[in-house]
């Protein structure tokens, strides 16, 4: 089933963005856009939902210090661990940009959430952030006692972070690395191609074709990297060893069809997949959580992710 139009609440949010974004972001510059987003994040995060505790720390990463933020549930542990990778086209995003989402995930899932502040392109193109993401997973598995973890672990990310969750799951399987029990890919930026119907029909909604090309060029640099399975997991010959997955897409998202290609590949290779398309939603909807940008469907999607994780960690999936 496909929705005929974008959800009215989201339409209002997009109309508001169309009025202010040309003023706030007149140029497509990573440095300027990050600066503007820092101010917007400060406003967005003023009254965050409570969790048991948050701790900022740095670990030794492949390129130097790698910042993490740990979110602990209010209930007494131990708890499963959820390693989170933020979105932003591999160019934007930070611990602050997804603080609300991580808090809601912690509250809903009862997991310890480890958010990763990986290196960003174009200063650090592929594979820098993949290396950081994998290092964070290794750290989480080696520090279960510090995290008050049960030893169960899932990876999760939205957009570019969803791609990182997918490729680190593949890396762990191929390298006999950390045991990942589950992966949650939220409208992942995987295998996006201009000829796809979703790009042809929905480019211009949140992301236009110039945005997609800019993010691609900043991160990949060339199509040679795009064909690397650790950049684009649909290039892998065999994904049968990766963990079961929840994959979420949005009906009006230009990234939708690239994600569904990967869903089909996972299923064909025998991987259990729970696939949900939120047909009236747009790219980025799951971060629409507060104030003038609050959408009920975002909270519903988080609750459904939490249910999936509960099934997995209770051994019923």
Mean pLDDT of 165-179: 98
For residue 21, the model assigns a pLDDT of 84
Domains and CATH numbers, the chain: 8-313 (3.40.50.1820)
Residue in 132, 253, 257, 308 annotated catalytic: 253
Taking the alpha carbons at both ends of the chain, their separation in whole angstroms is 26
Handedness of CA 153, 140, 283, 285 (dihedral sign): positive
Distances (CA, A) of 215 to 63, 86, 210, 237, 260: 21, 15, 9, 26, 20
Q: How deeply is 74 buried, as exposed, middle or buried, from its count of CB atoms within 10 A (0-12, 13-18, 19+)?
A: exposed
pTM over 0.75: yes
Q: Which of 109, 159, 169, 198 is catalytic?
A: 159
Per the annotation, the verdict on 272 as an active-site residue is no
Name 69's bridge partners: 56, 115
159 assigned to active site: yes
* Whether the predicted pLDDT of 317 surpasses 60: no
pLDDT value, residue 1: 59
Q: Tell me the per-residue pLDDT of 195-225, one tens digit each, with 9 for 90 and over.
A: 999 999 999 999 999 999 999 999 998 888 9
Active site residue 283: yes
- Name the CA radius of gyration of the chain, rounded: 18
Catalytic residue (choose from 79, 104, 283, 308):
283
Interacting residues of 107 by C-beta distance below 8 A, sequence separation 6+ = 49, 50, 51, 73, 74
Q: Give residues with Cβ within 8 angstroms of 143, minimum separation 6.
A: none
């Amino acid at each position: 089933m496909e929705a005929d139009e974008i959800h009215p609440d989201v339409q209002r949010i997009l109309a508001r963005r169309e009025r202010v974004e040309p003023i706030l972001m007149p140029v497509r510059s990573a440095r300027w856009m990050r600066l503007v987003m820092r101010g917007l994040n400060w406003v967005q995060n003023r009254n965050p939902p409570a969790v048991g505790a948050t701790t900022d720390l740095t670990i030794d990463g492949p390129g130097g210090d790698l910042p993490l933020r740990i979110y602990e549930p209010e209930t007494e542990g131990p708890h499963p661990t959820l390693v989170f990778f933020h979105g932003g086209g591999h160019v934007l995003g930070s611990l602050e940009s997804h603080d609300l989402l991580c808090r809601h995930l912690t509250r809903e899932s009862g997991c310890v959430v480890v958010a990763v502040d990986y290196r960003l392109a174009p200063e650090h193109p592929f594979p820098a952030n993949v290396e950081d993401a994998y290092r964070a997973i290794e750290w989480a598995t080696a520090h279960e006692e510090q995290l008050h973890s049960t030893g169960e672990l899932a990876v999760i990310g939205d957009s570019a972070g969803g791609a990182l969750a997918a490729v680190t799951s593949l890396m762990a399987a191929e390298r006999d690395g950390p045991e990942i029990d589950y992966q949650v890919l939220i409208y992942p930026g995987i295998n996006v191609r201009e000829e796809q119907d979703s790009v042809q029909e929905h480019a211009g909604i949140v992301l236009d074709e110039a945005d997609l090309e800019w993010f691609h060029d900043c991160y990949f640099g060339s199509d040679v990297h795009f064909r690397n399975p650790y950049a684009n997991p649909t290039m892998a010959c065999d994904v049968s060893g990766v963990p079961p997955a929840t994959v979420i897409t949005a009906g009006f998202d230009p990234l939708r069809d690239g994600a569904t290609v990967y869903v089909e590949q996972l299923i064909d290779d025998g991987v259990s997949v729970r696939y949900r398309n939120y047909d009236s939603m747009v790219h980025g909807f799951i971060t629409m959580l507060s104030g003038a940008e609050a959408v009920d469907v975002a909270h519903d999607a988080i609750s459904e992710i939490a249910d999936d994780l509960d099934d997995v960690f209770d051994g019923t999936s």
